[in-house]
Amino acid sequence: MDKAQQLLTDYGLRKTGCRLDVLRQFLEHDFALSHADLEKKLGSRYDRVTIYRTLYSFEQQGLTHSIKDGSGGLKYALCQHQESLQSKHEDSHIHFSCTGCGQTFCLNDVPVPELMLPQGYEAERLNYSAEGLCKTCSQRNDI
């Protein structure tokens, strides 16, 4: 059983062709993917609605999380799988959008500051984002 099959089993999701192919795309890339990215990479094997439903089911089960990409669109990335598979994703990491290549990365190892809200306020979701040049694009500019 490959990693994609194992993750679908672990998250209680049926192993359909589309789910396996979409999940393998996430496993092959270290950056977030949009619906359009997945359509391009998967070709005409699956229609748009099937891909949307796959992304929705992944997010509902906590396998992926969505990221607003700054242009009004959404990208999706795999969640970290260390702790409990039953806990929902929390955005406790920085999302970095590269202005050079347009990719969005989850910076899971960068500490984020604790947010202290005034009394009576309750955050439901936090979005930590940064923009600039990723490591690859930054190295290209140094040449």
For the chain, the structural domain boundaries read: 3-142
- Name the binding residues: 98, 101, 134, 137
What's the pLDDT score for residue 106? 87
| Binding site listing for Zn(2+) | 98, 101, 134, 137
Report helix, strand or coil for 96.
strand
Predicted local confidence at residue 50, as pLDDT? 97
- Identify the pLDDT of residue 82: 41
Angle, CA 69 vertex, CA 64 and CA 73 arms, to 5°: 90
Q: Phi then psi for 99, rounded to 5 degrees?
A: -80, -10
How many whole angstroms separate alpha carbon 50 and alpha carbon 28? 20
3-142: which CATH number, 1.10.10.10, 1.20.1740.10, 3.30.2270.10, 3.50.50.60? 1.10.10.10
| pLDDT tens series, the chain, 143 aa | 899 999 999 999 999 999 999 999 999 998 999 999 999 999 999 999 999 999 999 999 999 999 987 777 899 999 876 444 555 555 578 889 889 988 889 888 888 888 899 999 998 877 888 899 999 999 887 65
